[in-house]
Copies of this chain bind each other. A is one copy, B any other.
Amino acid sequence: MTTLRTPGPTIGVVGGGQLGRMLAEAAAPLGVEVVVLDPTPDCPAALVARDQIVAEFDDEAGIRELAARADVLTFEIELADQDVMERVSEDTGTPVHPKPSTLETIHDKLVQKRTLEDAGVPVPPFRAVDDADDVRAAIDDYGAPVMLKARTGGYDGRGNVPVESKSEAEDALEAVAGPAMVESFVDFEREVSVIAVEGDDEVATFPIGENVHEAEILRETIVPARSSEAVTERAHAVARDVLEVMDGRGVYGIELFETTDGEILLNEIAPRPHNSGHWTIEGAASSQFEQHVRAVLGWPLAATDLRSPTVTTNLLGDVDDERPARLTDLDEILETPRAALHWYGKRQARPLRKMGHVTLSADESASDTSVGELLERARALEDAVTFRP
């Protein structure tokens, strides 16, 4: 029997970037308070959250303070330290969702892939590599190119190095600089993702999104994805299988490859709201952030259906060097019907840094609007603004 008081329940979030900010934005109407822990004073989430504890992500004293103020702990970055969180949770009795064990599984991409493969989730061929000979052997088996991946610490394509031929093996290993794995290069038709939610005794998945990457950074998400119905169903089924493996409530961003022959292969999992799910704020019956709030609190989940075709485009730092964040020529975005601006509140722009996003939704009464057309219009909006002086 869910009950609300003032102050409402408090979620303690390790990390206070844009995901924490949008989480706090979704929590406020529900009467749910958010306290974030982040080392950067006045981090993006600080504006909206009840409070910020300024501490490193693995600072045990800081996380203890966070646990003392919260009814449940969660995280918005994988840099959260699973051991510290587990220890604090055991000592304080404040639960963590998703479970630190899930974070541990996901932290090491090799462990992640092995665990998922064991659970019957389709993954591209992969193997651990210790040296250049192992990489070359993988090329023999999978064919060139292969993708060499750092087992830990990589995100937004960092730590991923394509290896085009055997002669590049040494250089690639040096670039990765640490424990590595090799994955077969997937000949994909498109990259899609499913935002999936594990609730108390229920699960939910949002309509699948189609992701457009450039230089391994997500540029746009298109919903609905331009996949066949059969492929869409497979993607949802894989997402539900992934949730079976994950331990603890919350939102998971599940990135998938749709191969040229219509198979679905798992790419990567983020145990948190995901960049490719920002479209849900305007495009779905509920947002991934509201779902994460509900899930970690053990509240009932919300409906996830599409409201209308939607495209989200990221506003990345288009600068050559770090400089104070100043986005100009916003009028076209502000004047476009059904275009929603989201600003992350970062003080400095850096090359390709995620500074905000714009979501463009189709008018429900114009249900024949193609996502291709929406995508073109969203790109034009993104092209109209700049962080350059």
The interface of chain A, by Cβ under 8 A from chain B, is: 1-8, 21-22, 25, 28-31, 33, 47-48, 50, 281, 285, 294, 299-300, 302-303, 305, 307-308, 324-331, 334-335, 337-338, 340-347, 356, 363-365
Residues of B within 8 A of A22 (CB): 29
| 22 examples of A-B residue contacts, CB within 8 angstroms | A1-B331, A2-B329, A3-B330, A4-B325, A4-B326, A5-B327, A7-B345, A8-B343, A28-B48, A29-B340, A29-B343, A31-B344, A31-B356, A47-B50, A300-B334, A300-B335, A305-B337, A305-B363, A305-B365, A307-B308, A308-B364, A364-B364
| Contact status B363-A327, CB under 8 Å | no
| Contact status B338-A303, CB under 8 Å | yes
Closest CB in chain B relative to A126 CB, distance in Å: 39
Closest CB in chain B relative to A273 CB, distance in Å: 15
Q: Which of B4, B294, B305, B341 contacts A29 (CB 8 A)?
A: B341
Closest CB in chain B relative to A226 CB, distance in Å: 19
Residues of B within 8 A of A363 (CB): 285, 305
Residues of B within 8 A of A356 (CB): 31
Residues of B within 8 A of A2 (CB): 329-331, 334
Q: How far is the CA of A47 from the CA of B328 in the complex (A)?
A: 30
Q: Which of B3, B29, B281, B331 contacts A326 (CB 8 A)?
A: B3
Stoichiometry, copies per complex? 2
Residues of B within 8 A of A364 (CB): 307-308, 364
Q: How far is the CA of A76 from the CA of B365 in the complex (A)?
A: 33
Q: Which of B33, B326, B345 contacts A47 (CB 8 A)?
A: B33
Q: How far is the CA of A303 from the CA of B33 in the complex (A)?
A: 30
Residues of B within 8 A of A324 (CB): 5
Residues of B within 8 A of A343 (CB): 4, 6, 8, 29-31
Q: How far is the CA of A7 from the CA of B21 in the complex (A)?
A: 14
Residues of B within 8 A of A285 (CB): 337-338, 363
| Contact status B21-A330, CB under 8 Å | no
Given contacts A4-B326, A8-B343, 17 further A-B contacts (CB under 8 A): A1-B328, A6-B325, A6-B345, A6-B347, A7-B345, A29-B281, A29-B341, A29-B343, A31-B341, A31-B344, A33-B47, A285-B338, A300-B335, A305-B363, A305-B365, A308-B364, A364-B364
Residues of B within 8 A of A21 (CB): 28
Q: How far is the CA of A8 from the CA of B30 in the complex (A)?
A: 25
Q: How far is the CA of A48 from the CA of B46 in the complex (A)?
A: 10
Closest CB in chain B relative to A314 CB, distance in Å: 15
Residues of B within 8 A of A3 (CB): 326-330
Task: Output the nearest chain B residue to A25 by Cβ-Cβ distance.
Answer: B28
Q: Which of B31, B47, B337 contacts A302 (CB 8 A)?
A: B337
Task: Output the nearest chain B residue to A307 by Cβ-Cβ distance.
Answer: B364
Residues of B within 8 A of A325 (CB): 4-6
